[in-house]
Amino acid sequence: MVSTCALIAAYNEERHVSQVVKGTRAHVSEVVLVDDGSADRTAIEAESAGATVIRHDQNLGKGRALRTGLAHVLTRPFTHVLFLDADLQHDPAEIPKLFAARDAGAGDFVLGEREFLKGAMPPARYYSNIIGSRILSSLVGAEVMDSQSGFRLIRADLLRRIDLTGRGYEIETEMIIKLVRAGARLDRVPVSRLQYDGARSHIRPFRDTFRTCMLALRYRFLPE
């Protein structure tokens, strides 16, 4: 029997987190949110919306937040883990698209890929994702168009086979490389493109992309 837990890492996302949690709860068995040292009402809003909340006392980075969440989720009998962000960049209404790919047997790891239009998003974000995705595609031997997408559905048993070490946004790339290396079939489904409403992103495009690419080489050629 299929049972899915959603895992969300959040940092100062009181504005959108309630909407994300409520929208996600309609599709999964449980929502687990890791509040990564927020200074606002993120944890309170998430808990009120129905999420199981785990708190970091200080901001440790997205990678560590996801690892904290996985340490909790993977002890439970879920068959799949759904990842999405807390800032409403991923529309919970599109979760069934990932489930449909899973149910069709198309992949063990379903990646929700956003449409990137040059004039519809900040140039730094556009180019950093394009460059990072091309490098990652060459490393894993499979086409990946949105390497930085946090919208993904993965079999829990495969996640239990790998050791994740990423502290920041590089964990998205680390996950792809290590899962493919562990034998996961990667499938990609299109989801809505990013909508920017003036909210400040926590990503530092060029610095984070360079760090991610360097770590991707390590993950690929220096297995732990």
Give the pLDDT of residue 4. 98
Q: What percent of the chain has pLDDT over 90?
A: 57
What's the rounded Cα separation, in Å, for the pair 42 and 199?
A: 15
Domain positions in the chain are: 4-221
Summarised one tens digit per residue, pLDDT across range 28-70 is 999 999 999 999 999 999 999 999 999 999 999 999 999 999 9
Q: Which of 83-92, 187-196, 212-221 has the lowest mean pLDDT?
A: 212-221
Instruction: Please give the structure tokens belonging to residue 139.
Output: 């490393």
Q: In what order do the strands lie in the sheet with 109-114?
A: 52-56, 30-36, 4-10, 80-83, 152-155, 109-114, 186-191
Q: Which CATH class is domain 4-221?
A: alpha beta
Give the pLDDT of residue 170. 84
DSSP string for 162-180: ------STTHHHHHHHHHH
